[in-house]
């Protein structure tokens, strides 16, 4: 650890200009804060949080849809716990549950399927949220359920990471010099999907693990590329990430799901960046259940700057509501709600 920090300091001194590195993944954001890495880096090297917290980029509309489904008779919403407090237009799933909705937290997509089997008289809607790491489990349970468990449905908000990174680097200048690519997304997709970033945008990319020693090594590898004025996709997290990723997981996803347009909180609509169920699996799609549901006109919380935070345009303390009107105990925006949101991480570790 100490050796790696010394190396980073020597590299930063040799580069002699500010270097901004985006950690795309929310799990990296929290791991770096928890270990105090931001504070240990030399003044010229800074970490910028990106749009890689799936809870934070889930749009208001999706929460509104989940809340509307929770009000249907004989319906159970099964969700990863992170989603409970995310604000929709009028309320959150947590408040919908307090109002009588049957909203249950599951650890695994398979637990949602088990819940459906145990409640044959009710429809279980699993909220499919997350990036490439979390999509294969959803695809796997859909394939298990389809044709045999008629009361299991999925409301999919799954998203793919490289297309969002493409939108980010093609958007307003955020002036980043390198990217720490998400480790566990890359376990599934491998390193090839990032190659356009290095080739077309001259962006150094390092797929990095989540231990503090991994993160420091990833930063050092970015600085090496910056110093040598080259851009390549490199794997620091070699114990988990292979160049070709996990083919078995990707095959199941490809069999069950296909790309669709997706709305990202902060980034807007990104064509082809979502994953929706293929027509063969339409029986498991929860979208038709929304017919006839009253949905509010989607509206972001007034004054919330989560969109700019997610794009790396501002840091959380630059939002006027940060730490005053918006705190983890009374959050306004999703980046303060999620434990992996950059606002929550800044509030907990960065003040």
Partner 1 sequence: MCLAVPVRIIECDGVKATVDIDGVRREVVVAFIDNPQVGDYVLLHAGFAIVKWTQDDVREFEAIVNREPAPAEQDGGSRD
Residue placing its CB nearer to partner 1 in the complex, 159 or 226: 159
Partner residues linked to 297 by β-bridges: none
Does 248 interact with partner 1 (rule: CB under 8 A)? yes
- Among 26, 59, 162, 333, contact with partner 1 (rule: CB under 8 A): 26
Binding window for partner 1 (CB under 8 A); candidates: 125-133, 163-171, 257-265, 313-321 = 125-133
Yes or no: say if 180 and 221 are a contact pair by the CB < 8 Å rule. Answer: no
Show the site string, 186-215: x = touches partner 1 by CB under 8 A, - = not: -xx---------------------xx-xx-
Closer Cβ to partner 1, 136 or 231, answer by number: 136
Binding test (CB under 8 A) with partner 1, winner from 61, 111, 285, 308: 111
Q: Does 59 bind partner 1 (CB under 8 A)?
A: no
Neighbours of 263 (CB within 10 A): 19
C-alpha span between 46 and 42 (Å, rounded): 8
> What are residue 150's phi and psi, to 5 degrees?
-75, -15
Binding characters for partner 1, 150-189, by CB under 8 A (x = yes) = --------------------------------xxxx-xx-
Instruction: Name residues whose C-beta falls within 8 Å of residue 236's C-beta, 6 or more positions apart in sequence.
Output: 206, 207, 208, 209, 214, 217, 218, 221
**Range in contact with partner 1 (rule: CB under 8 A) among 221-229, 245-253, 295-303, 319-327:** 245-253
CA–CA gap between residue 49 and residue 33 (Å, rounded) = 11
Contacts by 70-73, CB closer than 8 A, 24 or more apart: 70/96, 70/97, 70/101, 70/102, 70/103, 71/96, 71/101, 71/293, 72/123, 72/289, 72/293
Nearer to partner 1, 210 or 346 (CB): 210
The single residue among 4, 15, 20, 27 that binds partner 1, judged by CB under 8 A, is 27
Minimum distance of partner 1 from residue 85's CB (angstroms): 14
If one asks whether residue 131 binds partner 1 (CB under 8 A), the answer comes out as yes
Whole-number Å distance between alpha carbons of 179 and 207:
8
Residue 134 found at the interface with partner 1 (CB under 8 A): yes
CB 24, CB 57: distance < 8 Å: no
Examine residue 86 and tell whether it contacts partner 1 (CB under 8 A): no
Nearest CB to partner 1, comparing residues 23 and 177: 23
CA separation for the pair 64, 95 (Å, rounded): 12
**Interacting positions 256-295 with partner 1 (CB under 8 A):** none
76, 340, 343, 346: residue in contact with partner 1 (rule CB under 8 A): 340
Match 């293929």 to its residue by tokens: 278
Q: Where are the beta strands (DSSP E) in 172-242?
A: 178-181, 205-207, 233-235
Residues engaged in binding partner 1 (CB under 8 A): 1, 25-27, 52-55, 80, 82, 107-111, 129-131, 133-134, 136-137, 140, 182-185, 187-188, 210-211, 213-214, 238-242, 246, 248-249, 252, 340
């Amino acid at each position: 650890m100490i050796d790696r920090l010394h190396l980073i300091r020597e590299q930063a001194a040799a580069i002699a200009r500010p270097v901004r590195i985006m950690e795309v993944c929310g799990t990296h954001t929290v791991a770096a804060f928890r270990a105090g890495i931001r504070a240990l880096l030399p003044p010229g090297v800074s970490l910028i949080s990106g749009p890689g917290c799936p809870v934070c980029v889930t749009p208001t509309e999706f929460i509104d849809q989940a809340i509307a489904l929770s009000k249907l008779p004989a319906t159970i919403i099964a969700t990863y716990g992170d989603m409970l407090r995310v604000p929709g237009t009028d309320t959150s799933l947590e408040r919908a549950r307090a109002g009588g909705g049957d909203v249950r937290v599951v650890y695994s997509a398979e637990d949602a399927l088990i819940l459906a089997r145990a409640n044959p008289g009710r429809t279980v809607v699993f909220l499919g949220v997350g990036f490439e790491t979390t999509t294969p489990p959803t695809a796997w349970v859909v394939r298990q359920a389809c044709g045999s468990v008629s009361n299991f449905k999925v409301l999919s908000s799954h998203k793919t990471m490289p297309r969002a990174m493409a939108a980010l680097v093609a958007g307003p200048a955020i002036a980043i010099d390198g990217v720490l690519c998400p480790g566990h997304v890359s376990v599934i997709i491998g390193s090839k999907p990032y190659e356009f970033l290095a080739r077309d945008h001259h962006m150094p990319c390092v797929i990095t693990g989540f231990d503090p020693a991994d993160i420091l090594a990833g930063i050092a590898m970015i600085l090496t590329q910056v110093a040598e004025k080259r851009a390549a996709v490199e794997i620091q997290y070699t114990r988990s990430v292979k160049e070709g990723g996990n083919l078995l997981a990707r095959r199941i996803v490809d069999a069950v799901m296909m790309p669709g347009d997706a709305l990202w909180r902060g980034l807007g609509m990104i064509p082809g960046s979502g994953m929706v169920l293929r027509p063969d699996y339409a029986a498991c799609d929860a979208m038709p259940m929304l017919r006839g549901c009253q949905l509010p006109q989607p509206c972001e919380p007034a004054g919330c700057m989560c969109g700019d935070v997610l794009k790396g345009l501002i840091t959380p303390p630059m939002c006027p509501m940060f730490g005053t009107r918006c705190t983890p105990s009374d959050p306004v925006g999703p980046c303060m709600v999620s434990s992996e949101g950059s606002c929550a991480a800044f509030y907990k570790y960065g003040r």
